[in-house]
Amino acid sequence: MLINYSRNSGFVVITKERYNFHQMNNLASQYMKITNAVSNDFELIFTLLLELWPDYVLDKELDKRIFDNDLKSKQKTYLVATEKDLIVGLI
């Protein structure tokens, strides 16, 4: 098994064969899209955080307020990785 990585998308996949850079970017673009987060993304982001941090106690209302304030900030940027309309990553 080989690990293939796309420098453009950050997409990582484990395969039986090695892909070149362009093949990997094409593969990544077929499965994943990276966009700026918007306020409506919060529900799916919160679900993702619950999966990633099962031992943390999260305050949904507080986290939503922080998220919305951060989206208005010129100093912060949130990016989401989506796959088939599901958020699978947050930067």
Average pLDDT over residues 5-27: 53
Residues spanned by CATH 3.40.630.30 within the chain?
33-91
What superfamily would CATH give domain 33-91?
Answer: Gcn5-related N-acetyltransferase (GNAT) (3.40.630.30)
Check residue 1 and give its pLDDT: 41
**H-run or E-run covering 65:** helix 60-72
- Sole residue written with tokens 């955080």: 49
Query: Which tokens is 42 given?
Result: 């919060």
Listed range (28-32, 52-56, 67-71, 82-86) with the worst mean pLDDT: 28-32
Check residue 69 and give its pLDDT: 93
Check residue 5 and give its pLDDT: 47
Nearby residues of 36 by Cβ (< 8 Å), 6 or more positions away: 77, 78, 79, 80
Nearest to 3 by CA among 14, 16, 17: 14
Nearby residues of 33 by Cβ (< 8 Å), 6 or more positions away: 81, 82, 83
Q: Which pLDDT band holds residue 35 (cuts at 50, 70, 90)? A: confident
